[in-house]
Amino acid sequence: MANTALGILSILFALAFLVLSSPKYYDNTFFRLWEDREHDNEHPRLHVLLLTAHPDDECMFFAPTLLGLARITRHVGEQGSYYGPLADVYSLCLSSGDAEGLGETRKSELEAALDVLGVREGRRWVLDEPFHDNITEFWDAKLIAQQIKPYIEDNKIDVILTFDELGISSHPNHISLERGVRALLSESPRRHLRAFSLKTTDLIPKYTGAAAGLVAKYEEVICILLPNSSLLQALPTQLAVPFLSILPVADCSKFDGDKVNDRALFLSSWPEYVTALFAMQEHQSQLIWFRWLYMLFSRYMWVNEWEEMVIETV
């Protein structure tokens, strides 16, 4: 019995490793945004700005997207004249993370981490003022909009990526960024400027680690291999095994062949996960015990799901 159980576990582990051996980018949304810019031969790639609150946010929450955007390539330029990246990625961090007097150290660590994640020098900035790392303080939304506006304009940013209204960890500085971007879009709407927020999940899914990647690929596998099997699509909800019972019923209406419609989701592979770990290790001043646990169990080390910010216009 023990040998049988060990054999089953070995097979399951091998399958999990195989499923997560290659990254997956459901990037139709970003691809359409790129198509909107393709006619501009002086600006053939999307200019994407990652807006963060503190050094290490880029590793702890956004690594799948940064690594994904670096890998996605398209025929760009006049009449597809060369094969290159879909996007040029920029990073703006609104504080140096100086809550413990380590601002300069953390700025240096951020530079090293962004080197690992592929964000080039000259496309990354950290502000010392007017915002300070504070776990109890909400930053002023209008002031955020005022501070980020020059970076948007000077670098012809097409897409802003940041936290959502829940801030992933409920940190008020994170939440403030979403409010600041909304303030920017509301006060000075630009036809080509779009903003997306990283979706906050419930507590238990937030700490499912590599299993989050398996669940993210679940619907694709079921719908492509067994598109007409309603029994298999519904099976997980009928099982008594607790882990399997949380798997969603596959919604195959979202799939067209092997494409996902209107979904902005980045799923890392094992190599990309390891790259994110190396990037996080550049933040030596922050590597206390619970962050090691975070890196092991966090969904956001594997999966980023994005929702576009919709601004109501009168």
**pLDDT for 58-92, tens place per residue?**
999 999 999 988 887 665 555 555 556 778 999 99
Residue 269 located in a structural domain? yes
When comparing pLDDT for 229 and 198, which is higher?
A: 198
- Rounded to an integer, what distance in angstroms lies between the CA atom of residue 262 and that of residue 26? 8
Contact 298, 60 (CB under 8 A): yes
CA distances from 204 to 163, 297, 298, 301 (A): 19, 10, 10, 15
* Mean pLDDT to the nearest integer, 255-263: 49
Q: Report yes or no on 19 lying in a domain.
A: no
Which carries the bigger pLDDT value, residue 260 or residue 302? 302
Q: Tell me if 104 is assigned to some domain.
A: yes
Residue 234 lies in a domain: yes
Residue 71 confidence (pLDDT): 81
Q: What local confidence, expressed as pLDDT, does residue 257 receive?
A: 43
Average pLDDT, the chain: 80
**In this predicted structure, what is the pLDDT of residue 244?**
46
**Residue at 4 is within a domain:** no
Tens of pLDDT, residues 30-57: 767 766 665 555 667 889 999 999 999 9
Residue 151 is assigned to a structural domain of this protein: yes
In this predicted structure, what is the pLDDT of residue 189? 64
CATH of the domain at 155: 3.40.50.620
Q: What is the pLDDT of residue 303?
A: 92
| DSSP symbols for 180-231 | HHHHHHHHS--TT-EEEEEPPPPHHHHT-THHHHHHHHHHHHHHHHSTT-HH
Tokens 């359409």, residue located: 32
| Domain span including residue 113 | 24-308
Give the pLDDT of residue 67: 93
In a domain, 279, yes or no: yes
Structure confidence by residue, pLDDT tens digits, 93-121: 999 998 888 899 999 999 999 999 999 99
Query: Roughly what angle, to the nearest 10 degrees, separates helices 230-238 and 210-225?
Result: 150
| Separation between Cα atoms, residue 139 and residue 87, nearest integer Å | 29
Total number of domains in the chain: 1
Prior bond of 189 cis (ω within 30°): no
Domain assignment present for 245? yes
pLDDT digits (tens, 9 = 90+) for 118-156: 999 999 999 989 999 999 999 999 999 999 999 999 999
Indicate the Cα dihedral angle 157, 159, 165, 167, nearest 10°.
Answer: -80
Banded model confidence at residue 9, pLDDT cuts 50, 70, 90: very low
This prediction has a pTM of 0.82
pLDDT at 203 > cutoff 50: yes
CB-based contact 176:144 (threshold 8 Å) = yes
pLDDT by residue (tens digit) across 216-233? 776 666 665 555 555 444
